[in-house]
């Protein structure tokens, strides 16, 4: 069993424990305020070459263990917004990441930028659940889903007004993401089956991301040097968690990342 398989097994168990009747979760999703457009927030369709950042609220990871206590996720989200985050990612997986839907609720009540519900989506119920709790963007992981699920889950998210960040790690997965109509494609440089990180993965795959889709580099950001590297290789946005939750100045570090990445993008596009 891979690390990803083990995580998904726990996700399914936890989902069964909290599942509401389908009519109730659908009613809550339809009653939620309209979703914000994360594709536009991440630079989709815009000429502005500035780097966007998806700033993540993340207490723990399977590879690094505990990262930060984060007693008040909403306060951290406000710091991220002040630093220029385009989207806030809220981890809601419980067992491996110490996240919760309560974190998503707290952040939604405090900030007005698009929110990514970061979890391992393996059931349509989770998509309704994400919308009911105010998410504007969901994560779908190509390595965890078959083609029919990628297409069907994407279509449901779009029907509910949300966007999808479709995460890939190989060229074949990018092709599958494109076939599913993905408009935001992430390349995770961490192999979720082994948790190994190889920062060269993004540069090797960026050219395969279809024109018109927002290219997001995920994982492996330790500092400005990594931000510059990804931006120079074609990233239009970064998903950053560990570096931001470990620093004492998330607002300042976010601004530093955005400035460095935007400069690298401008150089690449000149």
All domains of the chain, ordered by start, with CATH?
3-269 (3.20.20.70)
Is the pLDDT at 192 greater than 90? The verdict is no
Is residue 87 within 8 A of residue 57, CB to CB? The reply is: no
| Residue 49's pLDDT band (cuts 50, 70, 90) | confident
- What is the average pLDDT across 137-147? 97
Is residue 85 within 8 A of residue 257, CB to CB? The reply is: no
**How long a stretch of residues is the chain?**
270
Percent of the chain having pLDDT more than 70?
Answer: 99
Catalytic site includes residue 188: yes
Q: Beta-carbon neighbour count of residue 162 at 10 Å?
A: 25
Question: Catalytic pick from 61, 86, 98, 118?
Answer: 118
Secondary structure in 3-state letters for 237-258: EEEECHHHHHCCCHHHHHHHHH
CA 19 – CA 120 distance, rounded (Å)? 15
Catalytic site includes residue 58: yes
Lowest-confidence region among 43-47, 179-183, 259-263: 43-47
Q: What share of the chain is helix, strand, coil (3-state, %, to 5)?
A: 45, 15, 35
Question: Catalytic pick from 93, 129, 218, 242?
Answer: 218
pLDDT of residue 61: 87
Catalytic site includes residue 118: yes
- Find the farthest-apart pair of alpha carbons in the chain and give their distance in angstroms, rounded: 54
CA 258 – CA 265 distance, rounded (Å)? 10
Is residue 119 within 8 A of residue 92, CB to CB? The reply is: yes
- What is the average pLDDT across 239-254? 96
Catalytic site includes residue 219: yes
Catalytic site includes residue 13: no
Is the pLDDT at 47 greater than 70? The verdict is no
Is the pLDDT at 46 greater than 80? The verdict is no
Question: Catalytic pick from 61, 86, 129, 167?
Answer: 167
pLDDT of residue 268: 86
Burial state string for 20-30 with b = 16 or more CB within 10 A and e = fewer than 16: eeeeebbeebe
- What is the average pLDDT across 52-57? 97
């Amino acid at each position: 069993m891979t690390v990803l398989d083990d995580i998904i097994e726990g996700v399914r168990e936890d989902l069964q424990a909290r599942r509401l009747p389908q009519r109730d979760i659908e009613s809550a999703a339809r009653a939620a305020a309209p979703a914000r457009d994360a594709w536009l927030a991440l630079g989709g369709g815009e000429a502005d070459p500035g780097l966007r950042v998806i700033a993540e609220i993340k207490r723990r990871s399977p590879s690094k263990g505990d990262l930060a206590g984060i007693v008040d996720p909403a306060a951290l989200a406000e710091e991220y917004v002040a630093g220029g985050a385009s989207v806030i990612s809220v981890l809601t997986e419980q067992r491996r990441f110490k996240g919760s839907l309560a974190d998503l609720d707290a952040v939604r009540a405090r900030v007005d930028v698009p929110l990514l519900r970061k979890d391992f989506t393996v059931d349509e119920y989770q998509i309704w659940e994400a919308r009911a709790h105010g998410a504007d963007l969901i994560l779908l992981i190509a390595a965890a889903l078959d083609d029919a699920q990628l297409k069907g889950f994407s279509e449901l998210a779009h029907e509910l007004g949300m966007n999808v960040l479709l995460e890939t790690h190989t060229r074949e997965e990018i092709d599958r993401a494109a076939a599913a109509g993905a408009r935001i494609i992430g390349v995770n440089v961490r192999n979720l089956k082994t948790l190994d990180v190889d920062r060269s993965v993004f540069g090797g795959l960026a050219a395969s991301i279809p024109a018109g889709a927002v290219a997001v580099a995920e994982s492996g950001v330790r500092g400005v040097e990594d931000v510059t590297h990804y931006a120079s290789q074609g990233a239009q946005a970064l998903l950053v968690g560990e570096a931001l939750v470990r620093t004492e100045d998330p607002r300042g570090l976010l601004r530093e990342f955005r400035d460095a990445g935007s400069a690298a993008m401008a150089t690449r596009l000149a």
